[in-house]
Chains A and B, each alone.
Chain A
Amino acid sequence: MTWQSILVDMLTYVFLAYSIVLLSLYVFIGLYSIGEIKKYLFKNSFTDYRALASATQAPGISILAPAYNEGANVIENVRSLLSIHYNNLEVIIINDGSKDDSLEKLIAAYDLYKSDFFVNEQVATKPVRGVYKSRARKYRKLIVVDKVNGGKADALNVGINISQKDYIVCIDVDCILEQDALLKLAKPFLENTDKRVIATGGVIRIANGCTIEDGMLVKINLPNSFLPRMQTLEYIRAFLLGRMAWSRLNGLLLISGAFGAFDKEIAVKCGGYDHNTVGEDMELVVRMRRYMEELKQPYIVSFIPDPLCWTEAPASFKILGRQRNRWARGTIETLRMHKVMFFNPKYRLLGMLSYPYWFFFEYLAPIIEFVGMSCFIILALFGLTNWYFFFCLLALVFSFGIMYSIFAILMEVLTYNQYNRYRDILKLIGTALMEPFIFHPFVVWSSIKGNIDLYQKKNSWGEMTRQGLSTPKKPNS
């Protein structure tokens, strides 16, 4: 045996072993999520959320919605938030130094005045220019904060400082919420008697292609465009299977920044959102968990499989690439900041399972995939590739990936069944078949670019241009 063949064999078996462990974990996640979803659906089938909406004992919730250059839709988005039926609620819109006329529009539409408001700076932020309240009683729940631009994390921290309630719900201002989303998100905080629920998240769905009128979701449709449809499948898989399984293990490290609820006391004690990372949503959850572990206090990070929030997915490769690049950088930054937990038994499940999983299979997976493919190409150039083995391994990974996606679609059909036309299911199956060849390589490449950008200390958020979700109304005939 030559050293080259030893090297090739070693590489091959390392990649094979990694793939087998990864696929086994996916099987475990898929199967483990079933029990949790079933339990939730049974429980949900006889829960009356109306009890909470009007209860005087309902916990106080502050919705924090940062807005940057959202002038085009901000009035409608705020109206949608104000229409949420919940007794003990305040809606805080944080204008993060927008360059457009967002603030002027809000002042005019909601009859706002600049009030003397003491901003309790529990978390350090960029300066607040003014706090606005409405003269109209019907908008008494609304607070608009104008601040110097500092990014999403900084805007959310200002929201935390302004908030007067016990729980904060952080959302993207352009998200469309289901009518009972807040009630469903608040319930886990009230259910547990032996452990403190420090954060709750819900399923985010893709709104591209859906019919939206006056900030309300009227009809659910599968996106027509290619990329949003790919992301629809990806979100079903990630939220319905991945997060439910991690939630059952109480090992969830991420609650989407688009819609999540937090226990404010713990969030403040942890120092709020970290504006040194572009993955501020994941970082806060990890820090809150770490804080609770270090205090040795029993806690839960809860997750709800109900689709609660609808968001616009990037529809172009350029914007999607920026998003995935940012996600990759956010993951690495978070893992770096909390590297002390890596296989540290002091942090129990968090240190021994959740963190290593994210390190090996979220952070390293695209790198290993990229390096693996590169190695095979180099070996092929030198004529050292066993082509049969190569194609078998590729077919194994692809066929598994497709099977896992089909399993996710099956779970969707058996549970929420939101895309219930035969045509939609066929389209989703087609998407699952295409994903490994088009979408997945692009996501891997964006992630690699994220790694490179981080190495080169490029830490921009990346502009996320959105097309807007409102469906144009048909003129009356």
Chain B
Amino acid sequence: MIFFEVAILFFICVTFLMILWMFINLTIKKVRDGRYKKLKNMADILIRNAIFLEQTEEIKLIPITARTAKMLSNDNFRSILTQELLSAKKNISGTAAVNLENLYNQLNLDKYAVKRLRSRRWHIKAKAIQELGIMGQKTHLNKIYRSTNNKNDLVRMEAQTTIVKLYGFEGLRFLDVVSYQISEWQQIKLLQELSRLAPDNFSGIEKWLNSTNMSVIVFALKLVRNYHRFELYDRITELLNHPNEVIRLEAIYTLEKIYTNETSKVLIDKYPLETLKNQKAIVKALQDVGYDDDIPVLIQFLGQDENELKRLIVRTIANINPEGLTEVENLPQSNQYPLDQIIKQIKGELI
């Protein structure tokens, strides 16, 4: 019975301790919130002054009050100021953004970020990398570049994004050496960073298309189609024979964007050898790259059982040439389910 009594007493004590912890935490949060508002106000004034400062030859430095300068030794204030600077920098561009970078440099805030860069805790390190990237701190390139192949996925992702943010297309050279897979999410982030830059005839893409890292090939294919690298057309058609299904799929999407007169024939030749998913992608691509001559072949493709594919084929025929639908209607099975309903839907879409 002593077991019960001890256990019950233990549970009750733990319960009371947790309740105490809860209320202490809430109180600390409330006090901190009040202080936070005050410090945030100070930081906002400083940032506002920096944003609206018109720099001349004589005035290079952003005026800082003695009180603010003194407050910089306060960790809380520095952290709030950095946060506010980062969120302001994310939302503005031009001279105001340069002013914010200048303020960051003037206050030596990078020094603290570099210190955090050495942290063993991944989230502190990743956040420091992000901070340096947003504030355009190119001087720390080596330290950040080393993290582009870090074993922690979040540190690695932030380092890769930051390198691209700071060096644009040139920053993509990490793709030469990255041994970890680049997730779809990371690819979206990298492409978004690149979309902010003027298109550049960057080099290295041929090498990436031959990478042993599958995700690097996928990303390179996305670059080819986003930046219309027509000179790589032959290499992309070669990738239609790649053993990896995803790479073949991306190659189909890419050919849709950099097509030639021959593309539809190349895709149609590959169609019988492909998986259902890639067959759908080929048929979809033919909406843009197909010709009237491809319609009879597409009609032949209707002789399979996948209804979704059938719908796509009929839609593609109608997109290539609406007259092609008449040929579909002349088929003996055009009055039967599902083709009769598919034809009705596609006709409705044409109106």
Chain A contact residues, CB within 8 Å of chain B: 42-43, 45-46, 48, 51-52, 55, 57-59, 115-122, 187, 189-194, 388-389, 392-393, 395-396, 399-400, 402-403, 406-407, 409-410, 413-414, 417, 420, 422, 425, 429
Q: With A193-B183, A413-B26 as known contacts, state yes or no: A116 contacts B18, CB within 8 Å.
A: no
Contact across chains for B21 and A193 when beta carbons are under 8 A apart: no
A residues near B14, Cβ cutoff 8 Å: 403
From 91 to 112 in chain B, residues with beta carbon under 8 angstroms from any chain A beta carbon are none
Most chain A CB within 10 A, of B15, B191, B311, is at B15
Distance between Cα atoms of A403 and B19 in the complex (Å)? 10
Q: Which of A52, A389, A420, A429 contacts B19 (CB 8 A)?
A: A429
Contact across chains for B307 and A55 when beta carbons are under 8 A apart: no
Please give me the residue from chain B that is nearest to A166 by CB atom.
Answer: B277
A residues near B188, Cβ cutoff 8 Å: 51-52, 55, 57-58, 190
Q: With A117-B345, A425-B23 as known contacts, state yes or no: A45 contacts B123, CB within 8 Å.
A: yes
Judged by a CB distance under 8 angstroms, whether B206 is at the interface is no
Contact across chains for B4 and A403 when beta carbons are under 8 A apart: no
Judged by a CB distance under 8 angstroms, whether B158 is at the interface is yes
Contact across chains for B192 and A425 when beta carbons are under 8 A apart: no
Contact across chains for A116 and B185 when beta carbons are under 8 A apart: no
Contact across chains for B345 and A392 when beta carbons are under 8 A apart: no
9 residue pairs, one from A and one from B, having the closest CB atoms: A193-B181, A42-B123, A392-B4, A190-B184, A116-B344, A399-B11, A190-B185, A118-B341, A116-B348
Most chain B CB within 10 A, of A189, A191, A409, is at A191
Judged by a CB distance under 8 angstroms, whether B198 is at the interface is no
A residues near B268, Cβ cutoff 8 Å: none
Please give me the residue from chain A that is nearest to B33 by CB atom.
Answer: A420
Contact across chains for B29 and A417 when beta carbons are under 8 A apart: yes
Most chain A CB within 10 A, of B18, B29, B158, B344, is at B18
From 115 to 162 in chain B, residues with beta carbon under 8 angstroms from any chain A beta carbon are 122-123, 126-127, 130, 154, 158
B residues near A52, Cβ cutoff 8 Å: 185, 188
Contact across chains for A120 and B22 when beta carbons are under 8 A apart: no
B residues near A194, Cβ cutoff 8 Å: 181
Please give me the residue from chain B that is nearest to A186 by CB atom.
Answer: B185
Chain B contact residues, CB within 8 Å of chain A: 1, 4-5, 7-8, 11-12, 14-15, 18-19, 21-23, 25-26, 29, 90, 122-123, 126-127, 130, 154, 158, 180-185, 187-189, 191-192, 215, 222, 307-308, 311, 338, 341-342, 344-345, 347-348
Please give me the residue from chain A that is nearest to B25 by CB atom.
Answer: A413
Distance between Cα atoms of A327 and B283 in the complex (Å)? 44
Contact across chains for A393 and B342 when beta carbons are under 8 A apart: no
Shortest distance between the CB of A437 and any CB in chain B (Å): 16
B residues near A193, Cβ cutoff 8 Å: 180-183, 215
Please give me the residue from chain A that is nearest to B21 by CB atom.
Answer: A410
A residues near B338, Cβ cutoff 8 Å: 118, 120
Distance between Cα atoms of A425 and B183 in the complex (Å)? 40
Q: Which of A116, A187, A191, A389 contacts B345 (CB 8 A)?
A: A116
Q: Which of A187, A189, A409 contacts B22 (CB 8 A)?
A: A409
Distance between Cα atoms of A66 and B277 in the complex (Å)? 28
Q: With A51-B188, A392-B8 as known contacts, state yes or no: A116 contacts B222, CB within 8 Å.
A: no
Q: Which of B12, B126, B185, B189 contacts A399 (CB 8 A)?
A: B12
A residues near B222, Cβ cutoff 8 Å: 57
Please give me the residue from chain A that is nearest to B277 by CB atom.
Answer: A265
Since A52-B188, A395-B4 are in contact, a sample of 12 more A-B pairs with Cβ atoms closer than 8 Å, ordered by chain A residue number, is A46-B127, A57-B187, A115-B348, A118-B345, A120-B311, A122-B307, A190-B183, A399-B11, A403-B18, A406-B19, A422-B23, A422-B26
Contact across chains for A392 and B184 when beta carbons are under 8 A apart: no
Shortest distance between the CB of B133 and any CB in chain A (Å): 11
Distance between Cα atoms of A399 and B6 in the complex (Å)? 12
Distance between Cα atoms of A420 and B26 in the complex (Å)? 7
Distance between Cα atoms of A389 and B8 in the complex (Å)? 13
B residues near A400, Cβ cutoff 8 Å: 7, 11
Contact across chains for A51 and B189 when beta carbons are under 8 A apart: yes
Please give me the residue from chain A that is nearest to B7 by CB atom.
Answer: A396
Most chain A CB within 10 A, of B8, B22, B127, is at B22
Shortest distance between the CB of A316 and any CB in chain B (Å): 30
Contact across chains for B192 and A55 when beta carbons are under 8 A apart: yes
Shortest distance between the CB of B318 and any CB in chain A (Å): 13
Distance between Cα atoms of A92 and B320 in the complex (Å)? 29
Contact across chains for A425 and B130 when beta carbons are under 8 A apart: no
Contact across chains for B15 and A406 when beta carbons are under 8 A apart: yes
Q: Which of A46, A118, A191, A417 contacts B185 (CB 8 A)?
A: A191
Distance between Cα atoms of A372 and B348 in the complex (Å)? 65
Contact across chains for A395 and B341 when beta carbons are under 8 A apart: no
Contact across chains for A399 and B8 when beta carbons are under 8 A apart: yes
Please give me the residue from chain A that is nearest to B308 by CB atom.
Answer: A120
